[in-house]
Structure formats: structure tokens, C-alpha cells
């Protein structure tokens, strides 16, 4: 710079540095003292953080950690995502967690690192698992230690949790529902449903706690509070078990149905009529205008937009249909309105195989059948197709950063999201996480993940399933 020209310092430098990437900012900070001070301005790094992740965990910036800043937050989180994207040896640790003497029927994160709001300075995560050995166990997945184990009961058939209140809910093979205090494993309450196979769905409405249970007798039973007091019960698919059960993001709607009949339609139920039933009126309920539902998911970024895979004409074909659900209230009555948004055929070979359906945002649906994974837009455009696995996919876990598929080939496939040129999302296949030897296991059956870890269950040939925990660290 010529001596006759004034130095660009302070606000001018900071304004110029807004055009730089993080790599360029780091390079600029080593030029001189003035540049260093400008390039380290917290506003610049805060801007980069919010541009990349939309929302960041502001609480950790004042959590008492030494040298915590927007710059350090950005570098730490981007470094962690780089490790999760590459999956290189040394970028993660793997623990084989053993202790159950039966089949693992499910597991949930009791405490995890939230994908939308991660705490980068705390890598501790707790997973609770349920098994046919009749026990619930809590694990520290970083060191593989068992934190507590429940007393033995009848073989367990399912598990969910309320992570906010740290409550674990289980159902056993006799239909007995139990809630457990997540920190200690102490039993809180129980409720007998007399149904050997139950679907569990927990949700909170205005700080009120509810549990809706789908039974093998085709009914939906709603319980309230830690005491599991019964609020209502309604039959939705007579003579067939309820194995589709989900709640909308706005918590106003529950969808219940069965995969076991080609002729029955899933039903939409107004949640308020289950949680605060009227003595004079039946629960407000309406059948969807499709039959033979195979999988369903609510679009997470919408209040009540439902995608469902179902049978279509001619028989043997399948379609994916999207509905918006709303309620119309008049002076004398209330009516459920189901409006079709889109419908299109799906070409995956879905005969005699499990169908898995997940949603990423307002315009991205993932569907897996057999060993194939497809990504569709809500308009029906096939955005991507993957055949990374050699054997059928058994489970999918999706968050804002990545998707993880588990397969009978005893591998996990990690795929990551990125913004496409048109502003939409693009899914890219990255790498496999291997689960061990087929001489010991039949393959992975389930997978779950938080922001910095992945946990999957491997079906043991000896009848003793194992949890595999992969932890990524900064």
C-alpha cells in the first residue's frame, strides 16, 4: 500500500472481511496486528456460524468454558462435521456394548447431543435399551459402561423416551406399560393393556404429558401424566393390530393404522378428543382416502403435512401421497379436512420387504425398500438413488446434518446433506461403518444417532444382541 494512502483499519477492515471465507479470515489474521484484530472480531464469526447452521447453541458461549468464542465455536463444530463427513480411522471411537442376554427390541437416547443445538463441549451421551431378556439398561456410550439395569420382567417388546423429562417408557410381551426414571432406573408407574404387541407414542401439549398406545386389538388408548391415568380409548382398525402410529409436529393430529390389511385406511384423530374426551361425543376421527398403508411420516417443518406410502390400483403397485390435515370448526360441529397435496407412483420393489419412510424438510422424503434408498421431492421427482448396501436396509436415522442407514449386511452407511445449486438439499453418500464379523452376527437391526454419535444394534447369532456405539469427537 502506498505511503500516501491511509491504512484501512477498524470498521473498514471488518466490512471488507465479510466477503472472506473462514480459511481466508484465518490467513488474514496472520498479516499484521490490525488485520489480526479485525479478523478475530466476534461479529464476523457469529455471522459465519449463523450462515452455516442457522441456529447455534448460544448458551455454551457463556458456560464458563475457557477461551469460548464464536470463532472457537465455528472451528470446533466445522472440525467435528469434517470428521463425521470423512469417517476416517482415528476420527471416531467404536465401543461394543454387551450386557443383554436376549434380543434388543429397541433403544433410545435418554441424553444426547441435539442435532439442531449441539453442546460441543460435552460429548457425554446416555442410551437406554430394552431386550427380550426382560431388562431395561442405561449405557454411557463413550465408555460402554452400564449405568443401571431394571429388575427382570416379562420379555420387553418396545421402548421410547421423553428426553426432555428424562423418562423411559417400555411395553412388555403381556402388554404391561411401565415408565422409568431415566437417571436412576426407578420404576415410576405401570398400566396393563392386555395387548401383547403395543405401539408407543409420547408427546407433550402445553406442558401436559401424554402417552398414546396402539394395541394388537386395533384400538388406540391414551394415558396421561406420570401416573398413567387412562383418558380415552378408540378402535381404529378392528381385528388388526395398530402398527402405524405417529403425531404431527403441531401435536394436533395422530395418525393410526395397520400395515396388515390392503383394504383398511389409516385414520386421522384430533388429539384433543383423545386427551380431553367429551362424554357426549366420540373422538373426532376420519379415514384417509387411501387403503393399504405401508409407512407414514409427518413432514417436520410443516404443522400437519403427512406423507404416506400405500397400495394403489392396479394391485401390486404402490404410491406416495401427501396430505394436509386441518380442522374446520363451526358453531355446531367440527370437521376434519384432509386435502391431497401430491400423489405419485414409487417404483421401488416393495413386495415382501419392509418399507421405511423418513422426511428431512419441507421438500425431501427418503424411502427405503430392500437394499435401495431413494430420495424424492414432494412433487415426485427422484432426487437421488443409492444401492450402497448388499442386503436389505433395516433402519434409517435422519437429522439436519446426515442420514444413516443400517443393513443386514452388518454395515452402516453415512450420507450427508448439502445445499444444491438450486437452493434445495442434496444427499451425498460418504462411507461405511462396519459392525464386525458375520460369524458373530446376522446384521444390524436398528440405528439411532445424535449430533456427535451413532448407535446401532447387531443381532447376535447366539441370541445375545450387541450395541455398537460410534463417537465422533472434536
Give, for 74, the enclosing helix (H) or strand (E): helix 70-86
Provide mean pLDDT across the span 300-304. Answer: 91
Q: What are phi and psi of 418, to 5 degrees?
A: -150, 160
pLDDT band with cut points at 50, 70 and 90 for residue 211: very high
**Closest by CA position to 228, among listed 178, 153, 278:** 178
pLDDT band with cut points at 50, 70 and 90 for residue 124: confident
All domains of the chain, ordered by start, with CATH?
10-84 (1.20.1280.50)
pLDDT band with cut points at 50, 70 and 90 for residue 122: confident
Arithmetic mean of pLDDT over the chain: 89
- Long-range contacts for 40-44 (Cβ within 8 Å, ≥24 apart)? 40/71, 41/14, 41/17, 42/69, 42/70, 42/71, 43/14, 44/14, 44/17, 44/18
144 vs 19: which has the higher pLDDT: 144
The length of the chain, given as a count of residues:
474
CA-to-CA separations, 77 to 52, 144, 355, 474, in angstroms, rounded? 11, 24, 34, 8
Alpha helices in 103-250 (DSSP H): none
pLDDT in tens, 395-427: 999 988 899 999 999 999 999 998 877 777 889
pLDDT at 37: 78
Residue 7 has pLDDT above 60, yes or no: no
Is-contact 385 365, C-beta < 8 A? no
Q: What are phi and psi of 289, to 5 degrees?
A: -80, 45
List the beta bridge partners of residue 367.
357, 374
Provide mean pLDDT across the span 307-328. Answer: 87
pLDDT in tens, 328-362: 888 788 899 999 999 999 876 656 578 999 998 87
pLDDT at 349: 65
Name the 3-class secondary structure at 447. strand
Query: What's the count of helices (H) and strands (E) in the chain, helices before strands?
Result: 6, 32
pLDDT at 62: 57
pLDDT at 450: 92
Is-contact 137 193, C-beta < 8 A? no
pLDDT at 357: 95
Q: Given the C-alpha cell 499484521, which residue does it identify? A: 32
pLDDT at 316: 65
Residue 63 has pLDDT above 60, yes or no: no
Provide mean pLDDT across the span 218-223. Answer: 95
CB contact set of 88 (below 8 Å; sequence gap of 6+) = none
In angstroms, the CA 456 to CA 408 distance is: 12
327: which 3 cell numbers?
380442522
Provide mean pLDDT across the span 116-140. Answer: 90
The region of weakest confidence among 30-44, 194-208, 440-454 is 30-44
CA 332 to chain centroid, in Å, comes to: 39
Whether the predicted model's global pTM rises above the 0.85 cut:
yes
In angstroms, the CA 128 to CA 183 distance is: 10
Residue 209 has pLDDT above 90, yes or no: yes
**Closest by CA position to 264, among listed 301, 289, 245:** 289
In angstroms, the CA 223 to CA 229 distance is: 5
The region of weakest confidence among 60-64, 140-144, 300-304 is 60-64
Alpha helices in 357-436 (DSSP H): none
pLDDT band with cut points at 50, 70 and 90 for residue 5: very low
390: which 3 cell numbers?
448388499
The region of weakest confidence among 6-10, 195-199, 455-459 is 6-10
pLDDT at 4: 43
Amino acid at each position: 500500500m502506498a505511503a500516501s494512502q491511509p491504512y484501512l483499519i477498524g470498521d473498514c477492515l471488518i466490512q471488507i472481511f465479510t466477503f472472506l471465507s473462514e480459511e481466508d479470515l484465518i490467513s488474514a489474521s496472520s498479516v499484521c496486528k490490525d488485520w489480526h484484530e479485525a479478523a478475530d472480531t466476534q461479529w464476523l464469526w457469529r455471522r459465519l456460524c449463523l450462515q452455516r447452521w442457522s441456529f447455534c447453541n448460544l448458551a455454551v458461549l457463556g458456560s464458563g468454558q475457557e477461551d469460548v468464542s464464536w470463532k472457537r465455536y465455528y472451528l470446533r463444530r466445522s472440525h467435528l462435521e469434517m470428521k463425521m463427513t470423512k469417517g476416517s480411522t482415528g476420527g471416531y471411537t467404536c465401543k461394543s456394548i454387551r450386557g443383554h442376554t436376549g434380543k434388543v427390541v429397541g433403544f433410545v437416547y435418554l441424553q444426547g447431543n441435539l442435532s439442531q443445538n449441539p453442546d460441543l463441549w460435552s460429548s457425554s451421551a446416555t442410551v437406554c435399551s430394552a431386550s427380550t431378556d426382560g431388562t431395561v439398561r442405561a449405557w454411557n456410550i463413550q465408555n460402554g459402561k452400564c449405568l443401571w439395569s431394571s429388575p427382570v420382567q416379562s420379555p420387553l417388546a418396545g421402548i421410547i423416551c421423553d428426553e426432555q423429562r428424562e423418562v423411559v417408557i417400555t411395553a412388555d410381551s403381556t402388554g404391561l406399560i411401565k415408565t422409568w426414571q431415566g437417571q436412576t432406573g426407578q420404576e415410576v408407574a405401570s398400566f396393563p393393556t392386555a395387548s401383547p404387541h403395543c405401539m408407543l407414542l409420547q408427546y407433550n401439549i402445553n406442558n401436559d404429558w401424554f402417552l398414546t398406545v396402539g394395541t394388537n386389538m386395533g384400538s388406540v388408548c391414551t394415558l396421561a401424566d406420570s401416573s398413567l391415568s387412562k383418558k380415552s380409548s378408540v378402535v381404529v382398525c378392528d381385528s388388526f393390530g395398530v402398527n402405524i402410529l405417529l403425531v404431527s409436529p403441531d401435536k394436533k393430529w395422530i395418525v393410526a393404522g395397520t400395515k396388515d390389511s390392503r383394504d383398511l385406511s389409516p385414520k386421522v384423530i384430533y388429539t384433543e378428543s383423545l386427551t380431553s374426551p367429551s362424554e357426549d361425543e366420540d373422538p373426532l376421527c376420519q379415514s384417509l382416502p387411501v387403503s393399504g398403508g405401508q409407512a407414514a411420516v409427518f413432514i417436520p417443518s410443516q404443522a400437519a403435512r403427512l406423507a404416506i406410502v400405500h397400495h394403489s390400483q392396479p394391485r401390486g403397485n404402490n404410491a406416495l401421497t401427501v396430505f394436509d390435515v386441518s380442522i374446520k370448526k363451526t358453531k355446531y360441529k367440527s370437521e376434519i379436512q384432509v386435502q391431497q397435496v401430491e400423489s405419485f407412483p414409487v417404483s421401488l420393489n416393495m413386495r415382501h420387504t419392509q418399507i421405511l419412510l423418513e422426511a428431512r424438510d419441507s421438500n425431501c422424503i427418503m424411502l427405503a425398500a430392500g437394499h435401495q434408498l431413494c430420495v424424492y421431492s414432494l412433487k415426485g421427482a427422484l432426487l437421488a438413488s443409492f444401492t450402497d448396501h448388499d442386503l436389505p436396509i433395516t433402519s434409517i436415522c435422519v437429522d439436519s446434518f446426515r442420514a444413516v442407514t443400517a443393513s443386514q449386511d452388518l454395515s452402516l452407511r453415512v450420507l450427508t446433506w448439502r445445499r444444491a445449486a438450486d437452493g434445495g438439499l442434496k444427499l451425498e453418500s460418504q462411507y461405511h461403518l462396519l459392525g464386525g464379523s458375520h460369524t458373530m452376527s446376522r446384521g444390524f437391526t436398528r440405528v439411532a444417532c445424535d449430533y456427535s454419535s451413532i448407535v446401532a444394534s447387531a443381532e447376535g447369532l447366539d441370541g445375545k444382541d450387541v450395541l455398537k456405539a460410534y463417537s465422533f469427537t472434536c
